[in-house]
Amino acid sequence: MSESRPHFFAWCDESERLDAFAAALSALVIPGDLMSVNMSTSIWCKTPSMDEALAMVRAHFGGWKSAQLFSGVMLRESERVMVFSLACYPEESERRDPLGPLELTAGERRWDFYPYEIPVSRGPRSVEAAVVAACHLVQGDIEDLLLRLCAPDASGRVPTGACTDKEDWIAPIDMCATYNANAAELARDLALSWVSLHEKERVSRIAGTSLEALHARVDAAPRGARLPMKGTSELTRSLSRETVLKALAAPPAALLDALEAAAVPDEAWRAAEPKAQELIELRRQLDDEDAGEVPPAFWVDVTTREHTRFLEEHAPFHVRRLPSGGVLLATHPYRTLWPLWADALSLLGLMS
């Protein structure tokens, strides 16, 4: 289990980077909230004006001068309010120390984002139900924030992005969520992962590489090359060059269908859902000042190893076809997307 809050990353061409930053900012910041803008130790301001904040960024951005902005965000799914940080890095900075080029973090501390306790009523306790309820409080916000960063409008400036509870943009199959603006290029998550892991490349350096160029780099790897993966079976404990090449050659629609088929929640998760919905309703009543009398409740810790292990092993996967033609893959930040990919590739008979 990570001690980090979630980190969201996005890539776009430098020529459109400030426009992408501005669009994401507009989608994130609470209107009228105070914004703190930092360009360097001597260039900064605090203002509630979006125009003033963006004017400072546009006037000084470039070279080694990146932009970092702090303000408040309303999480749409859980209706929580917390501090967020949005950073934008110019290409010269990225070449020397790749950090983005767009990066969003939510919350000042880990527990700002992840619930550490859940209200339960009297009676038998269910670790599984508490975990499922806690997951519901996080999952929708993860997906919403990633889309607000990558696709706040219909411009399509950002072709790809991802989320993880690590502090770096790592291989897409090791992330908890990825965004691709073009569903037909979904296999680039696999290709990008292969190039990053096999060639030890920082993802933020190569995230904008074309699918054709990534394909060529995978093809250039030695025949029979394999990457070790964290899996529960012999097939899922590694990813082969040949599997990636087969996935790149597969019809994109078939690949997406297989991912959807593999994303069905497992039996353990489904069994815990009814009780979890009761816990979610109990929390809603406790938060509602007009709810009147509510059942007696007490709060239980959901950060024990037993709770987190259930998340790591059973948290469901979401495959969302977006109206824009893009696709979002997601799970809880304590899990990665590799099990989803492994199951989908197995369904297609591509694992080798």
Q: For 320-340, what is each residue's pLDDT tens digit? A: 999 999 999 999 999 999 999
How far apart, in whole angstroms, are the C-alpha atoms of residue 172 and residue 164?
A: 9
- Give the residue, 116 or 215, on which the prediction is more confident: 215
Residue 1 — pLDDT band, cuts 50, 70, 90? very low
Task: Give the pLDDT mean for 10-38.
Answer: 93
> Does pLDDT of 120 surpass 90?
no
pLDDT the model gives residue 28: 94
Lowest mean pLDDT among 188-192, 195-199, 227-231: 227-231
Cβ proximity of 327 and 148 under 8 Å: no
Task: Give the pLDDT mean for 208-232.
Answer: 92
pLDDT in tens, 282-311: 777 776 655 566 666 667 788 888 888 998
pLDDT the model gives residue 4: 66
Distances (CA, A) of 252 to 69, 186, 259: 38, 7, 11
Domain assignments of the chain as residue spans, ordered by start: 7-264+312-347
pLDDT the model gives residue 110: 59
pLDDT the model gives residue 99: 78
Lowest mean pLDDT among 105-114, 260-269, 341-350: 105-114
CB-based burial of residue 232 (10 Å sphere; 0-12 exposed, 13-18 middle, 19+ buried)?
A: exposed
Residues near 240 by Cβ (< 8 Å), separated by ≥ 6?
Answer: 224, 225, 226, 227, 352
Residue 109 — pLDDT band, cuts 50, 70, 90? low
Residue 197 — pLDDT band, cuts 50, 70, 90? very high
pLDDT the model gives residue 2: 46
Provide the terminal-to-terminal Cα distance of the chain, rounded to the nearest Å: 30
pLDDT in tens, 25-72: 999 999 999 999 998 767 889 999 999 999 999 998 888 888 999 998
Percent of all residues in the chain with a pLDDT value above 70, rounded to a whole number: 93
pLDDT in tens, 235-264: 788 899 999 999 999 999 999 999 999 999
Q: What's the distance, CA 174 to chain centroid?
A: 11
Determine phi and psi for 281, rounding to 5 degrees.
-65, -40
Q: Across the chain, what does the average pLDDT equal?
A: 89
- Give the residue, 26 or 97, on which the prediction is more confident: 26
Written as six digits, the tokens of 285 are 């009543």
Residue listed under structure tokens 């806690």: 134
Residues near 318 by Cβ (< 8 Å), separated by ≥ 6?
Answer: 139, 143, 263, 328, 329, 330, 331
CB atoms within 10 A of CB 101: 28
Task: Give the pLDDT mean for 191-218.
Answer: 94
> Does pLDDT of 193 surpass 70?
yes
pLDDT the model gives residue 147: 96
pLDDT in tens, 154-186: 899 999 999 998 889 999 999 999 999 999 999
